[in-house]
Amino acid sequence: MLISVPKRLFKRAVARNDIKRKIRESLRLLQFQTFCVQGVDMCIIYIDKKPPGESGINEKIKDVLEKIRRIVEISSHSATDCVD
């Protein structure tokens, strides 16, 4: 898992590290470890110009993980259809 916060948007390392910490905590609360699939690498790039709030980042990450989960399910179903 790669989490990136651009220096161009947040000049101070303290602000960048705080955003990364909030993202990691959100992933932990959403039990991201159970979501991981072996062989899949993920990168989260924070591109908003404002620092996130706790509830805002939780909702955004939850939505993104749900979208990824649906894409993985669709691709795994279509892959098993081709094999059968």
Per-residue pLDDT tens for 70-79? 887 787 776 5
Rounded Cα distance between 35 and 19, Å, is 22
Task: Provide the residue range defining the domain that includes 53.
Answer: 2-83
What would the pLDDT profile of 6-56 be if each residue is shown by its tens digit?
Answer: 999 999 999 999 999 999 988 888 877 666 666 677 888 999 888 887 778
Q: How many domains does the chain have?
A: 1
pLDDT category, 4, cuts 50, 70, 90? very high
Asked if pLDDT for residue 83 goes beyond 70, the answer is no
The reported pTM is 0.75
Assigned token pair, 13: 């390392």
Residue 61: per-residue pLDDT: 87
Run of H or E including 43: strand 43-45
